[in-house]
Structures are given as structure tokens and as C-alpha cells.
């Protein structure tokens, strides 16, 4: 009776440990899924839609593009849209990972799920359902978790090899034990070998790490489109930054001008940040901007339009090269200040210039320092004049500067560094960055950038904070470390345990019981699952990742 009780005790322990292993695995995956589902929970249960003179409470699912909704102080935005009335400090931490609020006013875009912390807004909806940013985040993370990677292929290959290893070990075990006249022991040893060689832990080693890593990244404002990009970031030793809108704020201010009215008329139909700055400056001064026609834009050269019967062109140094015109007299002084200089050409003759200052992001200083601590070369690429680029580069401590680069040549500069043996990451936000993003080993698009840039990138930063690049590198290194640990454990455990299960130590009196073999198999799953959970301790907020690098280096 005692022997039978001991047998059932072992069986009960086996069932408990196997269930514990599966529970940890399922809980890990469920936490990842629920964390993403919690993004959808950020949306309010109801929305207040403006209908004529009345405000009607509706379900957010009933909203249509073009509807205007009221967002109360402390309330969440029900769908992506543009502010048409009011200004508020928006809490966007759930999307960007940044803890501080961002002031948004009329004409600016707000994202579904963000919170107006201090005052009310009226927002015109421009995206609903699957077209919203939150839906896009969930879709990107799901795609990343489903995509393949080098480490996953290695794990799959190892699992396949383990099958043949176990089958071969079982066959050898049978031959040896039957040959020494122990058929009963042979059956027990064969079953023990097959049980202990179950590749469950090996199959779990990579997917669980990836699921947790992508979920943690999404919470930190980093969206992983391609798992290969996440793996490659740990090798990156050169980071390309597009200057405008990435290292600088991308909101230039017109400080001095001689022909603002004509420039604003020509730039009125342009979406370029410099164009918006010029038109904004004219509006602030109350200038009357004449109508323009025949607008056209040439990347890296400038814009052309007909204003009051004259051809007006506005652009940088390439425009002067094309028209063979001299600079304005103030150009050298403006350039010494590190300003962007645009010239206004009327009917082929330079009639004046504009001085625009683009302020460096405060976060850029720490981002460059942290990348240097990580051993990466920091490179800045821009279409601006060399003097402007050098002024920004000196302040930030940039290692290498490519100035006056046309959009079509940016990919060539990335290729140039790759030819030097560098693993290159490219950070950009514009249409003209898309070829370079695709050329780089890892393309990183700023979330505020264009759809073309985002489509060309493997990683998307929800915020415009350049320190998020540090978060991606740290996550890549941590995730790879966990993958490697899990693979070594899962494979190494089998290589050691299978010979013991086969009875290799039987001559000295040690034989691994079948029940113990089953317990060890389940324990390996538990170890792999718990080890992957340690990734949850990483804080991927841009400021936290950067400070950790600066303090630990």
C-alpha cells in the first residue's frame, strides 16, 4: 500500500508541476494581450457630439469623420481628430511613454485615448475605428509578435534537431538495454528519454520573450513593426539622425526677413515645416498675403508659384546654384548664428532673404551622450547649408555631419557608412527620408512623421523624443540576452538530461526515475517562462533608459 501511495504522490507532483508550467506560460501571454487590450480601454464609454446648438451623448462607435465632439476637462478624446476650439495640456503618456503633458491648441491633432487634463476642447474627428492611432498600435504589435526572426528560426531548427536527437537516443537506449537482457528496464528508459526530451521549453524560449518585449516596447512609446529590426538594434554602431524635426524641434521661427509677404504667398500651399513657419510669421504680423497660383515644389531646392504676375521662388542654397544668383548681404551674419537661410527669387533675381531659427530639442543633448556611452557613432544628415549644420553639430557633439544633402542622396550616405563596415540605424520623419530608412540596417520612423516614412521603417517611435532610440537599443540587448539564456537552458538541459534518462550512469548505480524525468521536463518550462518575465522590470520611458545608460556607463 505504501508503494502505491508513493507512486500516486509522484504522479500528483508531476501533474502539479506541469500545470504550474502551463499556468506561468499562459499568464505571461495573457498579460501581454491584456496590456494591449488596455490601450483600447483608454477610450471613453461615451462621447458628446455637437449637433447644431445641442450636445448629444453617443457611443464612440457611432462617431463619423467630420463630427465635432466636446472633450471635458479630465476627459478622454474618443477618436483621433483636430482641435477646432480651445487649448489644453494633454496627457499622452499612454501613447508616447512621456510622463509630462503637452499643450495642444487649435489646428493641432489629438489622439484617441489621450486626456485633456486642465481644460475643455472641441475636436473634429478625422479618423475612426481601425484607422485610429490606437488601432494601429495594436495592429503593429500583433504583426510584430507574429513575424519571424533569426533567433526564432534558430529555436525552430534546434527543436527539430532535438526531435531527431531524442529519437536517436531512444533507439540507442533500446539497443543497449535489450542487448544486456533488460527488456523491462529498456521500456522504462526509452519512455523516460522521450518524456524528458520534450522540446516544450525550447519552443517557448523565443516567442514568450518576443511577446513580452513588444508589449513593453508599446507601453514605452516604441512600436516594433519587424522583429528582425529589434534583434538588429543591439549591433548598431552608427545612428543617422535627420536634423529637422528629430534633433531640432522642427518648428522654425522667422527672426529676420526682407520679403516676408511674397515668401508667404509662395509657401501658402506647402506642408514643409519651414513653409508653415513663414506663413505663420506673416499671419502674426497681420500682413495681407496675396493669392498665388501654379504652385510647385522641388525637394531640396524650394517652391515656385506665380504671385501678382511674377514668378516667385523660395529656397535654400540649391536654388541659388540653379538660378546662379548671389546670397543676400546678411547671409554671413545669419549663418554665424546657425540660422537656416532661405532666399526669395522674383523672375530669376534674388530680392531678399529670410532667417529662420530651428531650436535644438533639449532631449537631443542626452540622446547623443548616451549613444556615445553605448559606443555608437552619431551622424547628422540634413539638406541645410554646411554652416547651419555645423552649428547644430558643435552644440550636440555630433561625430559626423553630412550637410546640403539632397533627399535622393540620403540613402547613398547611409550606404557609404555601411561600406565602412558600420551597422546603421536611420532616424527620420519625412517622405524624403523613406529611401534612407529602407537602406539602413534598422529604419526608425518618428511617429509624427509621414505615412511613407513609417511604411519604410522597422521601428516606429510614438513620440518625437530622440532618446527613444536608446530605449530601442536597451530593449534589443535585454531581449537578446533573455533569448540566449532561454535557448542555452532549454537545449543544455536536454543535452545533459537525456543521457541520464537513458541510464548512462546505471553502471555506478544511478538511474533517473521516469517520474523525476517528467518533473524535470516541466521545470525547464517554468524556468524559461520565469526568466522571460524578468523583461518586465525594464523601464523603457525615454528619460529612464537614457539616465540608466548615462549613470551606469
Q: Write out the catalytic residue numbers.
A: 242
Q: Dihedral, CA atoms, 324, 328, 329, 332, nearest 10 degrees? A: -90
Provide CB contacts within 8 A for 205, sequence distance 6+: 155, 483, 486, 487, 489, 490, 528
Provide CB contacts within 8 A for 332, sequence distance 6+: none
Rounded CA gap, 316 and 301, in Å? 6
222-224 sheet: strands from edge to edge = 222-224, 459-461, 442-446, 424-428, 238-242, 377-381, 400-402
Residues 328/256, Cβ–Cβ less than 8 Å: no
SS3 349: strand
Determine how β-strand 310-315 pairs with β-strand 302-307.
antiparallel
Cell output for 124: 473634429
Q: What is the 3-state secondary structure (H, E, C) of 50-92?
A: EECCEEEEECHHHCCCCCEEEECCCCECCCCEEEEECCEEEEC
Q: Which ranges constitute the DSSP H helices of 75-149? A: 93-96, 133-146
Rounded CA gap, 287 and 284, in Å? 8
Tell me which residue has cell 556611452: 373
Strand partners, 349: 346
CA angle 132, 460, 381 (to 5 degrees): 130
Cell output for 312: 516667385
* Per-residue CA distances from 45 to 61, 75, 76, 95, 113 (Å): 10, 11, 10, 19, 11
Rounded CA gap, 520 and 180, in Å? 27
Residues 364/413, Cβ–Cβ less than 8 Å: no
Q: How far is CA 375 from the centre of its chain?
A: 21
Eight-state DSSP code of residue 301: T
Residues 83/103, Cβ–Cβ less than 8 Å: no
Residues 113/94, Cβ–Cβ less than 8 Å: yes
Provide CB contacts within 8 A for 177, sequence distance 6+: 183, 185, 186, 189, 190, 503
Rounded CA gap, 233 and 219, in Å? 19
* Per-residue CA distances from 191 to 138, 194, 502 (Å): 44, 5, 9
Rounded CA gap, 381 and 402, in Å? 5
Residues 134/112, Cβ–Cβ less than 8 Å: yes
Q: Dihedral, CA atoms, 129, 131, 135, 141, nearest 10 degrees? A: 150
Amino acid at each position: 500500500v505504501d508503494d502505491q501511495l508513493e507512486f500516486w504522490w509522484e504522479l500528483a507532483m508531476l501533474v502539479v508541476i506541469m500545470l504550474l508550467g502551463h499556468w506561468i506560460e499562459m499568464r505571461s501571454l495573457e498579460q501581454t494581450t491584456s496590456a494591449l487590450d488596455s490601450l483600447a480601454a483608454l477610450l471613453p464609454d461615451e462621447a458628446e457630439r455637437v449637433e447644431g446648438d445641442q450636445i448629444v451623448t453617443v457611443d464612440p462607435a457611432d462617431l463619423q469623420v467630420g463630427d465635432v465632439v466636446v472633450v471635458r476637462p479630465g476627459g478622454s478624446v474618443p477618436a483621433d481628430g483636430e482641435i477646432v476650439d480651445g487649448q489644453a495640456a494633454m496627457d499622452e503618456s499612454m501613447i508616447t511613454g512621456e510622463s509630462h503633458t503637452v499643450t495642444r491648441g487649435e489646428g493641432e491633432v489629438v489622439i484617441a485615448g489621450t486626456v485633456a487634463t486642465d481644460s475643455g476642447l472641441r475636436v473634429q474627428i478625422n479618423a475612426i475605428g481601425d484607422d485610429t492611432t490606437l488601432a494601429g498600435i495594436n495592429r503593429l504589435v500583433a504583426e510584430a509578435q507574429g513575424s519571424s526572426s533569426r533567433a526564432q528560426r534558430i529555436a525552430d531548427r534546434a527543436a527539430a534537431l532535438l526531435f531527431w536527437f531524442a529519437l536517436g537516443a531512444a533507439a540507442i537506449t533500446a539497443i543497449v538495454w535489450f542487448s544486456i537482457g533488460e527488456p523491462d528496464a529498456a521500456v522504462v528508459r526509452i519512455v523516460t528519454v522521450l518524456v524528458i526530451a520534450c522540446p516544450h521549453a525550447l519552443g517557448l524560449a523565443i516567442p514568450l520573450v518576443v511577446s513580452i518585449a513588444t508589449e513593453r516596447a508599446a507601453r514605452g512609446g516604441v512600436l516594433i513593426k519587424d522583429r528582425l529590426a529589434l534583434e538588429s538594434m543591439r549591433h548598431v554602431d552608427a545612428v543617422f539622425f535627420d536634423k529637422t524635426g528629430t534633433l531640432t524641434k522642427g518648428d522654425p521661427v522667422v527672426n529676420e526677413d526682407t520679403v516676408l509677404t511674397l515668401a508667404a504667398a509662395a509657401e501658402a500651399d506647402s506642408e514643409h515645416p519651414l513653409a508653415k513657419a513663414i506663413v505663420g510669421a506673416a499671419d502674426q504680423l497681420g500682413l495681407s498675403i496675396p493669392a498665388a497660383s501654379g504652385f510647385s515644389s522641388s525637394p531640396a531646392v524650394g517652391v515656385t508659384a506665380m504671385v501678382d504676375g511674377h514668378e516667385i521662388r523660395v529656397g535654400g542654397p540649391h536654388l541659388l546654384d540653379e538660378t546662379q544668383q548671389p546670397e543676400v548681404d546678411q547671409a554671413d551674419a545669419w549663418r554665424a548664428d546657425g540660422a537656416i537661410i532661405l532666399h526669395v527669387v522674383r523672375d530669376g533675381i534674388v530680392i531678399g532673404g529670410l532667417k529662420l531659427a530651428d531650436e535644438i530639442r533639449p532631449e537631443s543633448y542626452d540622446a547623443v551622450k548616451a549613444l556615445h556611452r553605448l559606443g555608437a557613432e552619431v551622424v547628422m544628415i540634413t539638406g541645410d547649408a554646411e554652416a547651419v549644420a555645423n552649428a547644430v553639430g558643435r552644440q550636440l557633439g555630433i561625430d559626423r555631419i553630412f550637410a546640403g544633402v539632397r533627399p535622393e542622396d540620403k540613402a547613398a550616405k547611409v550606404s557609404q557608412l555601411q561600406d565602412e563596415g558600420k551597422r546603421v540605424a536611420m532616424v527620420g520623419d519625412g517622405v524624403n527620408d523613406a529611401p534612407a530608412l529602407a537602406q539602413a540596417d534598422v529604419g526608425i520612423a518618428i511617429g509624427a512623421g509621414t505615412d511613407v516614412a513609417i511604411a519604410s521603417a522597422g521601428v516606429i517611435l510614438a513620440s518625437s523624443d530622440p532618446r527613444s532610440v536608446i530605449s530601442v537599443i536597451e530593449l534589443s540587448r535585454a531581449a537578446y540576452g533573455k533569448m540566449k539564456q532561454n535557448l542555452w537552458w532549454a537545449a543544455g538541459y536536454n543535452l545533459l538530461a537525456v543521457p541520464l534518462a537513458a541510464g548512462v550512469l546505471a553502471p555506478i548505480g544511478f538511474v533517473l526515475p521516469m517520474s523525476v524525468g517528467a518533473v524535470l521536463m516541466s521545470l525547464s518550462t517554468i524556468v524559461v517562462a520565469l526568466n522571460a518575465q524578468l523583461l518586465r522590470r525594464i523601464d523603457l520611458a525615454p528619460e529612464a533608459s537614457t539616465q540608466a545608460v548615462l549613470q551606469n556607463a
